[in-house]
Amino acid sequence: MIPLGRARMVGVLGGMGPAATVDFYGKLVEETAASSDQEHVPVVIWGDPRVPDRSMSLLGRGEDPTPHLRRGIGELRRSGCEVLAVPCNTAHAFVPSLAEEAGLELVSIVEVTAAALAADGVRAAGLLATTGTLRADLYGPALRRHGITPFEPDEPGQHEVMAAIAAVKSGRAGREHGEALAAQARSLAARGAGRVVAACTEVVLALDPAQVPVPVVDPARLLAREVVRVALNAEPARA
């Protein structure tokens, strides 16, 4: 847990999807060393599920979500937020410039994950993510800066990952979807990945880490931990 300090208002740009937003807020609460309500981080959640599909936009087959994201970020800024957290991995293809435009400090789910992997001495990491995240190479530059090689599923495997993500978003995820994700994670581990990154928040909601032979990294958990640190002006955790 992180020592408490002066709290800054955190804006959560959520709704992408709703279940992932709920999951993230729960982790934000868990990562706060609070003994009373008043010691928790103040949070405003903008949960707009109408934001067009980020992955489809990146693949050139969908509407640009930028105007919707800009509106949400603007509402968070007008609500008094200083720190921005976005649990949706794929949205990070769009939000950095929008956060800067609004004058909010973005805590990047990509950067905190890459830094955590590097701190653990990881040299190769498998990515379970949306096709948009993979094609936009959102994690690649951050991982490579830390000397980490990213692996991703082959094309049939990626179809399985996307089917599982869609099932979570629709509320119909079953055992078969979790097993499909675990199979892809095991394949990435067999290729040399020292960690498997659940680089889509919905993946965390369906994948059982006990079925994977290497540790599964939850970027939403890492994001929550860093957001608490930044919001409370705490010192960085020692490796």
What is the sign of the dihedral through the CA atoms of 93, 68, 45 and 96?
positive
CB burial readout 150-173, b (16+ within 10 A) else e:
bbbbeeebbebbbebbebbbeeeb
Q: How far apart are CA 6 and CA 56, in angstroms?
A: 40
Contact 99, 105 (CB under 8 A): yes
Tokens of 8: 């800054």
- In the three-class reduction of DSSP (H, G, I as helix; E, B as strand; rest coil), residue 85 is classed as strand
The residues annotated with a catalytic role in the active site are 88, 200
Give CA–CA dist 213/101, Å, rounded: 42
8 Å CB contact between 28 and 45? no
Task: Find how far residue 122's CA is from the centre of its chain.
Answer: 19
CA atoms within 13 A on the CB side of 39: 11
CA-based nearest residue to 39, from 228, 222, 230: 228
